[in-house]
Amino acid sequence: MEAILLVGGQGTRLRPLTLTTPKPMLPLAGIPFITHQLLRARQAGVEHVVLATSYRAAMFRDHFADGAGLGLALSYAVEDEPLGTGGALRNAAGHLRGDGPVIILNGDVLGGLDLAALVDRHRHGGAEVTLHLRRVPDPAAYGVVTTDPDGRVLAFEEKTRHPSTDQINAGTYVFSRPALLSIPPGRVVSVERETFPRLIAAGSRILSLLDDDAYWLDIGTPATYIRGNCDLVTGLAPAAAGHAPPGERLVLAGAEIGDGAELSGGTVVGRNAEIAAGAQLHRSVIFDNARIGRGARLTDTVVGGGARVGAGAVLNGVMLGDLTEVRPGARLLAATATAG
């Protein structure tokens, strides 16, 4: 079994963190986000994964190498210029090794979908493409998918103001090899706006698997990035290979926690970070080598690698980039993003 993992986006909504690190490589409960996806793919029987990269592509290869450390074979398809979701898939197709169906994973989604069930639906239904769908209260921000009673896809509308259904495209697919190779090579293609509508119009058999129960989170915003970390630590999200046991906090190797410091709500403290005495951290993510001063109070906050927060500072809903310094006693409130 093979998979393509789309990891080429620039993650602009998570700046300043993504100025130095691609979004899929940001730490989630102590390991790069896509490590969770890769391990879940392996558990579903995937042996070879192609990473479709563009932005800061070398960081993926430098970290994962050939994938042997994860029990996988990894290949890298690099786009010199972004090709869109469909163009990225077509570019990655040249690195595949077999001729069977291909699982497509989205580098934005932390999920607990049963990938083997999606593949079974695809194979037994004789589909060209099978999409994971879920219902959401406000579908206007997503691609909405209309299906018949048997789950065959009838229409696909990308981010319409007046959606005709609450079923959305949840970003995980299975493609047959012919459907994948039907995407035009060498140009920008949106799989959502071009490929799916074209296949539907041509009468191709596009099926769906509706699963509202599996954990699903787009980690592309500051709020959801923090939530994904905390959900993994507290056990609300399925952890990869036991990397994040349920609890109120996750303190990684080499971190120092001062007397009386309080860490709650799924807070993550990175490697070799220092939390001074009396600091209070709730639902916050502290990157490696960061320093939090005595009595500082952080809520729903991300502190980038090597950043410094002074004693008595109060931060709520803030994202600090790598190497940022916050003076003692400062007050930074929601919607503040600070680069180093």
Q: Is 23 an annotated catalytic residue?
A: no
131 near 206, Cβ under 8 Å?
Answer: yes
222 near 23, Cβ under 8 Å?
Answer: no
Residue bearing tokens 């999409």: 131
State how far Cα 59 lies from the chain centre.
16
Helices (DSSP H) in 131-192: which residue ranges?
A: 177-181
Residue bearing tokens 């190797």: 253
For residue 305 the two structure tokens come to: 């690698």
Q: State which H helix or E strand residue 306 sits in.
A: none
For residue 130 the two structure tokens come to: 């099978």
State how far Cα 83 lies from the chain centre.
19
128 near 178, Cβ under 8 Å?
Answer: yes
From the list 159, 193, 198, 271, the catalytic residue is 159
For residue 163 the two structure tokens come to: 């959606």
List CB contacts of 120: < 8 A, sequence separation 6 or more. Answer: none
d(CA 150, CA 268): 43
73 near 48, Cβ under 8 Å?
Answer: yes
Q: State which H helix or E strand residue 40 sits in.
A: helix 33-43
Catalytic residues: 159
